[in-house]
Structure 1
Amino acid sequence: MKRLLCGLLTASVLWTGSVLAEVRQDRLQLKEGHPTEYVVVKGDTLWDISGRFLDRPWLWPEIWGVNPQIDNPHLIYPGDVIYLTWVDGQPRLSLRPTSGVRKLSPQVRVLPLDQAIPAIPLRDIISFINNNLVVDEDLLQDAPYVVGGDNRRIITGAGDRVYARGHLKSDDRHQVIYRPAKPYYDPVTGELLGHELFKVADATVTSVQEEILTLQIRSSHEEVRSEYRVMPSDTRRIQSVFYPQPGPEIEQAQIMDVLKGVAKIGQFDSVVLNIGERDQVEPGHVFAVFRKGETLNDPITRETIQLPAERAGILMVYRVFDKVSYGLVMRATDVITVGDEVRAP
């Protein structure tokens, strides 16, 4: 009886291991026609490089995972050679740094960190990471607001003095002036998800008299006008290194806006999603975009029918607020528009 139980247990373990291996192999499916090695060039990203080898480039942390040569896959430089190898039957990417020297002695290669290959094209999102903020209704209404500039000027800039009315949310003399951009409402439930603000200036509080604040503008991206809001600097961690993973399955998740204001959304456009921290969304989460199916009339019954949604691309979340998040379209196989669904990939 004991032998039978041991045999069944061993068979079960072997079967479970083989199933997990098959699932993992499916997740790490190599792209048809993939190269055996690739030389990194300036302008590459980890997403691009992994996409040359994998059908699902967002799984790159798994294919880099166990390489002793790559302690940090985010420190890859132009000229390095990425080559495909196999470990325990699984595909792995390994790194061969560029060097013409073949000595059996330690070497140090010194390069600026800003020359390292980024995870995704940061140039397309850096302004949204640094300058955009989404806050709730109460925080917006309670924030001090600009009432005017020196000598009754209604438009001011760097070096000018402005006055605001209200009570500061912190004792920090360094404050940020934001331009209210737009409110975001959930396209499904109608809930107010927050107000988007755009940073226009950095300012220093020089005087506080009751509820009147005097601020000296240190630097500005655009002119400062009345009704702009004064808030402390955003203290949340700004993330620029991303480890992608499939996002959670969330019902009624949609694209509700595009940050550049274009009508048709394509690769490397930034979009706004009606999901955020309260939905367990995190930077690095990857979602598939499904274009909403068209409605048409049945030619026989004359009924209105809804065609199924079709997959149109992949996006990765890079900035998350309480009820809203920003995502970057990494791949677009069809035209993407506001209102399209996002699902776990």
Structure 2
Amino acid sequence: MMMKSVQRAFTVGLMLSVATLASAAVTLKDGHPSKYYVKNGDTLWDISGRFLEEPWQWPEIWQINEEISNPHLIYPGDEIRLSYVNGEPRLSVERGVQEQVMNNGVVKLSPKVREIANDEAIPAIPASAIAAYLKEGLVVTRQEIQEAPYLVGGRDRRVVFGEGDTVYARDTRTQWEGLEQGYGIYRTGEQYVDPETKEVLGYEARQIGLGRVSNHEGEMLSLRVTSSTEDIRIDDRIFSTEDRRVRAVLYPSAPDTKVEAKIIRFFDRINSVARNDVVVLNKGLRDGLKEGNVLDIFGAGEIVRDRQLGDNVQLPREKTGSLVIFRVFDKVSYGLIMESSRPIYMNDSAESPVGSY
């Protein structure tokens, strides 16, 4: 499901001071092109990967073209050019390219002037892959669960509800009295536990419906279920449906400090994940992570039998992929896997890119 609001929220933020970027050396990819014409369906990450070994380093060699309006956004039809300034690689954009077929059949490309809406800009990462996690996923504390209003029943003594039904929730703290807005109906489940410290990092709350308050008397909330993705049941919790868009400018960047995290949760996968899958990490805001941070993923080396000495040895770990953080909570984060050379498993490490700290 491609959400237009999410597409609009992703614009290509490239005007970032070099002084604030990680100091890792930029390496051009073998066989890189000298130019590339942006197409529908491209992402900033994919385009960067055509030129660079590490796509997140795009801002380090971006050269602003002051002659075009809003040079921080990239659109289908734009031409990305690779050049060198004082021996250093630079990428720049030529806004909009017009195709013209000549008499000899050769396609001639020339710049053209046009007005383009900002929401047509290509996203930094695939918006469709993370839309549901922005809209429907929460990580909450045990206290937040205990204090949230919860469903106690509905009409006709039913215990299962859906779109169009009226349900009743008890709000013992009357914290939303007088507010007129929609709320999310959530089911709490997965407990996130740090695999090393055993600290409880939070609880997964999954949105299964939306409701609008029709009445509020004392501790009792009356809600009209406006939509549902599965059966709504007694004891489901009510949380505010805040607007959870990725910030308007998503900068690919290394964390400000060294981060060493573990993958602690898959979604809709059993044994392993790969490119365009979403994972949960055991690090968050308190550990210095923020939206747009890039982490390298490492898989543990296989344990093999040493036939000469007769004991078991562990082979060195290997980099198996990379991910971008797109949503951050206090103690955990959601990341989208952007690259994977091998299957990625639970408890694999996710760390700051080598040379960035």
Same fold (TM over 0.5): yes
Listed as ranges, the matches of 1:186-197 within 5 Å are 186-197=194-205
**Higher helix proportion, which one?**
1
Rounded to whole Å, the distance in 2 between the matches of 1:235 and 1:81 is 34
Identify the match of residue 142 of structure 2 among 137, 145, 152. Answer: 137
Partner letter of residue 131 of structure 1?
A: E
Identify the match of residue 273 of structure 1 among 273, 281, 288. Answer: 281
Q: Quick one: structure 1 residues 215 and 243, their matched pair in 2 at CA, closer, same or farther if it must change by over 3 Å? A: same
Q: Quick one: structure 1 residues 200 and 73, their matched pair in 2 at CA, closer, same or farther if it must change by over 3 Å? A: farther
Q: CA deviation at 1:313?
A: 0.7
- Give the number of aligned pairs: 318
Partner letter of residue 30 of structure 1?
A: L
Q: Quick one: structure 1 residues 40 and 65, their matched pair in 2 at CA, closer, same or farther if it must change by over 3 Å? A: same
SS in 2 for 1:52: helix
Query: Is the Cα–Cα contact under 8 Å of residues 63 and 92 in structure 2 kept in the other structure?
Result: no
Q: CA deviation at 1:73?
A: 5.7
Partner letter of residue 175 of structure 2?
A: K
Q: CA deviation at 1:71?
A: 6.8
Rounded to whole Å, the distance in 2 between the matches of 1:238 and 1:80 is 24
The answer on 1:213 being equivalent to 2:221 is: yes
Identify the match of residue 47 of structure 1 among 24, 37, 45. Answer: 45
Q: TM-score, normalised by structure 2?
A: 0.82
Contiguous gaps of at least 5 residues in structure 2? 1-18, 100-111
Instruction: Describe the superposition over 1:72-93 as per-residue Cα deviations: whole angstroms up to 9, x where unpaired.
Output: 5652221111111223332111
Q: Which moved more, 1:269-278 or 1:78-87?
A: 78-87
Higher relative contact order (CA 8 A, sep 6+): 2
User: In the alignment, which residue of structure 2 is the partner of 1:98?
Assistant: 96
Instruction: Describe the superposition over 1:307-328 as per-residue Cα deviations: whole angstroms up to 9, x where unpaired.
Output: 3211111111110001010011
Rounded to whole Å, the distance in 2 between the matches of 1:315 and 1:128 is 15
Q: CA deviation at 1:281?
A: 0.4
Contiguous gaps of at least 5 residues in structure 1? 1-19, 102-106
Partner letter of residue 209 of structure 1?
A: E
User: In the alignment, which residue of structure 2 is the partner of 1:7?
Assistant: none
The answer on 1:243 being equivalent to 2:251 is: yes
User: In the alignment, which residue of structure 2 is the partner of 1:293?
Assistant: 301
Considering only CA atoms, is the larger Rg found in Structure 1 or Structure 2?
1
User: In the alignment, which residue of structure 1 is the partner of 2:317?
Assistant: 309
Identify the match of residue 179 of structure 1 among 177, 181, 187. Answer: 187
Rounded to whole Å, the distance in 2 between the matches of 1:69 and 1:222 is 52
User: In the alignment, which residue of structure 1 is the partner of 2:55?
Assistant: 57
Measured on the aligned residues, the alpha-carbon RMSD in Å equals 2.5
SS in 2 for 1:118: coil
User: In the alignment, which residue of structure 2 is the partner of 1:8?
Assistant: none
Q: Quick one: structure 1 residues 70 and 341, their matched pair in 2 at CA, closer, same or farther if it must change by over 3 Å? A: farther
Identity, in percent, stands at 43
